[in-house]
Chain A
Amino acid sequence: MSDVALLSVRNLRIEAAAADAAGRAPLLADLSFDVAPGEFVAVVGESGSGKTLAARSILGLLPPGVRQAGGAISLQGQELSGLSQGELRRVRGRQVGMVFQEPMVSLNPALTIGKQLAEGLKLHERLGDAEIRSRCVEMLRRVRIADPEHCLSAYPHEFSGGMRQRIMLASVMLLKPRLLIADEPTTALDTISQREVMELMVELAREHGVAVLLITHDLGVVARYAQRVLVLEKGVTVETGATAQVLGAPAHPYTRRLVDSLPRRAANRSPRGPTPPILEVRNAAVDYPGKPGLLSRGAPKRVVSGVSLSVGAGEIVAVVGASGSGKTTLGRAALGLKPLAAGSIAFDGVDLARMDRDQRRRFRREAQLVFQDPFSSLDPRVRIGETVGACLRHDPDLSAAERRARVRQALEDVSLGGFEDRLPHQMSGGQRQRVAIARAVVSRPRLVVADEPVSALDMTIQLQVLTLFQALQAQYGFACLFITHDLGVVEQVADRVCVMSAGALVEEGPTDAVFDDPQHAYTQALLAATPSRMAAAAAGLA
């Protein structure tokens, strides 16, 4: 490692540009750090910590309404903050590459992959078409895209999220930058693709001697890959140092909290005797309608096939799998939201398909759903009180006053007492997700399907929400089908685990048994790729 820093940030200060922001705390205060050539540095923080702003300011890509109020950013001795847009454009791509969080939107859906890869090369280098093409193919092969020739003429929608992120990585690395900035590059991916992309990024960086500045909230990823780490809290650097040092012996209470919020195995959930099943899924299969053709629909696509499982009263059963494994569809089918192509699902002994009107009404009150995305699951125009009480309106035994009391109680249960008149946008992500949980428990359900209820949240918030969910489950004793891709979370909450892959159930058993002795190859791969387990191991906490 050379002594001369590749990137040097000194006393960077970022403020909101609005006139009335003068008195407020800066979004990022007094940030200083160096990245040496070839070094892997991680910036860790939760939403609002300013970590993304820090990354964007390096390339002069601050969003409107935000400005750099002070400090210096230099790249190989060249000061960047005073550069014109034209001069910055020569730095972007050529010297500093950036990979964004959302692989679904960071590639242009209207252009072929080949065009998008060639764009940067054409801009920064003088090369013939044949040369450009061969370089692209070579790089695509390098990021393990099968059939790179075909890939060049394909469009982004033909690829999965993990593949798109690898293509994105290829397009950035083609220009051989000196520094790669990766802003939450794997957050939107499932566990196994996450690992593929990270490993590839590290390999490529090492090969080409590229330094990496990784922006993330995931300590697992940090522990595994970063040499140095910088922890941000609300725009202030609270701790910085070698990764093992910071995660192994956190000096600042905030870092301590972050490390503590890594999910870990619950201290022996008391084994429960067999309980009568509340949900019974038998040989269930779910189809998605085929693509509509010119005259007729294509053949339907089977996303869940031959799945059987049961959830006992008061039991928490986790369904684990990568994206596209059919786990979410299974959860929807369990609530009667997706029709079955074959098999049956019974709630409390009654087949969902054969329920009469009254049974269906009761089912709608007794089986609830907690959604993954707290920003999409609450109607932006409806006040919290109404949202939470929605399913009570259909309970003929409750008076209006009783309904209000139940809503108040449910909101207090999730520590949001008095939030009835708020609108969703006035709340944080964690608060919204607590509303989603209140909505699910307000009717005293017997079954809650929780679809990735914490994966959209920050680490410390994840822990809060998860703990809250567990407490409510213990208090009200509902059974739960807990759908997730994060095995760390499963370890913490579940009694039993079902592992799904490609629409089928590949392994099932008590949590401890599955974790200690995974039988199926897929389960083993999944366990090996789970970052929070790796982090816990790295921090000496396992």
Chain B
Amino acid sequence: MPRLKPNAAIGAALVGLLLATILLGFVWTPYDPIAIDLDHPLAAPSAAHWFGADEFGRDVLSRAMLGARISAAIAAGVVAAAVSVGLMLGLVAGFVGGWLDRALMIVNDTVLAFPGILLALALMAVLGPSYGSLILALGVAYLPSIVRVVRAAVLSLREREFVEASRVAGDSGLYTMLRHVLPNALPPVVVLATSLFGWAILSESALSFLGVGVPPPAPTWGNMLSSARPYMERASWLSIAPGLCIALTLLGVNLLGDALRDWLDPRDDG
């Protein structure tokens, strides 16, 4: 039984807390997250509303619990889409090389040249607002950086002698790529993917702020933060719950990502 490292334990606890919050949100929230109570707009934190109420009197804690589900689902979807497609493209570009590499990288770098948020904005305008198109738009926006990282790792691995050894043994290119190159290219991707999780949550809020993200009244941590912004001086508590949620989630995901990278390293015997 490998010894659990403290960082990994904290990461697991935070991610576990997130999952528990999401599950709890399915069966119970303190209030209806979208029920408007115009008698108590911008209510300060109290025994009734632990994290206060927003400008429509909606309970912030309840909204953050529902927002956890939406934000985490979107972020996980974006990461999964970008990483799976990015791995494939990066591997092919780096390993096959030649004109295919050049063609892929020209397209990739062109996409990379656009500000990600602008690209996602344009895609959302074309696709229309839905969770699916949000994931697709952000996934496409973040894809090029993953392709770059994978390709760079593959290019250096391709020159390693064990890849040549696989060729001498008579392995097919596809086998060499999947058995010897892909596993060794994973660690940097894991690190990037954990950061991506955080960027996705924040970008979603930016898109929501611009009106093309998750449509109101459904809450996400991102759009809760942006709608709290005008009341920063009168009701600063509005930002506390979503801000805290994002910070703790990112911390947890990053710690867990580091642990995953260590675990993937064959030299790490715990």
Residues of A that sit less than 8 Å from B by CB:
335, 337, 361, 364-365, 367-369, 371-373, 376-382, 387, 390-391, 393-394, 423-425, 439
Contacts and interface: CB of A to CB of B under 8 A. Distances in A.
Contacts of A378: 162, 165
B170 to A, nearest CB: 3
A377 B162 contact: yes
Nearest to A374: B161
A377 B161 contact: yes
Interface residues of B, number: 17
A118 B119 CA distance: 48
B183 A390 contact: no
B166 interface: yes
Contacts of B161: 371-373, 376-377
Given A376-B161, A376-B162, A381-B183, A337 B168 contact: yes
A425 B162 contact: no
Nearest to B183: A381
A368 B168 contact: yes
B171 interface: yes
Contacts of B169: 364, 390-391, 393-394, 439
Contact of B180 (A379, A394, A423): A379
A380 B165 contact: no
Given A364-B169, A394-B170, 13 more contacts: A361-B170, A364-B170, A369-B165, A369-B168, A371-B161, A371-B165, A373-B161, A380-B267, A382-B162, A382-B180, A391-B169, A393-B169, A439-B169
B267 A390 contact: no
Contact of A425 (B171, B180, B266): B266
A377 B165 contact: yes
Contact of B171 (A335, A372, A376, A390): A390
Which of A361, A379, A394, A439: most chain B Cβ within 10 A? Answer: A379
Nearest to A449: B168
Nearest to A332: B164
Which of B166, B167, B170: most chain A Cβ within 10 A? Answer: B170
B160 interface: yes
A381 B168 contact: no
Contacts of A361: 170
Given A382-B179, A425-B267, A439 B184 contact: no
B168 A380 contact: no
Contacts of A367: 168
Interface in B125-181: 160-162, 164-171, 179-180
A395 B122 CA distance: 54
Given A380-B184, A380-B266, A335 B162 contact: no
A379 B165 CA distance: 9
Contacts of A380: 184, 266-267
B95 to A, nearest CB: 15
Contacts of A371: 161, 164-165
B160 A376 contact: yes
A337 B167 contact: yes
Which of B164, B166, B167, B169: most chain A Cβ within 10 A? Answer: B169
Rank and list the top 4 A-B pairs by shortest CB-CB distance, nearest first.
A364-B170, A391-B169, A390-B169, A377-B161
A378 B161 CA distance: 7
Interface in B74-101: none
Nearest to A390: B169
Contacts of A393: 169, 171
A5 B263 CA distance: 51
Nearest to A395: B170
B176 to A, nearest CB: 10
B169 to A, nearest CB: 4
Contacts of A394: 169-171
A337 B161 CA distance: 12
21 contacts: A337-B167, A364-B168, A369-B164, A372-B161, A376-B160, A376-B161, A377-B165, A378-B162, A378-B165, A379-B179, A380-B266, A381-B183, A381-B184, A382-B162, A390-B165, A390-B169, A393-B169, A394-B170, A425-B266, A439-B165, A439-B169
Given A368-B168, A391-B170, A394-B169, A379 B162 contact: yes
A382 B160 CA distance: 14
Contacts of A376: 160-162
A439 B171 CA distance: 14
Contacts of B183: 381
Interface string B234-247: 00000000000000
Nearest to B163: A379
B170 A379 contact: no
A368 B164 CA distance: 11
Contacts of A368: 168
Nearest to B162: A379
Nearest to B168: A369
B92 to A, nearest CB: 20
A335 B168 contact: yes
B81 to A, nearest CB: 26
Contacts of B180: 379, 382
Contacts of B162: 376-379, 382, 387
Interface string B164-204: 11111111000000011001100000000000000000000
B168 A391 contact: yes
A424 B160 CA distance: 15
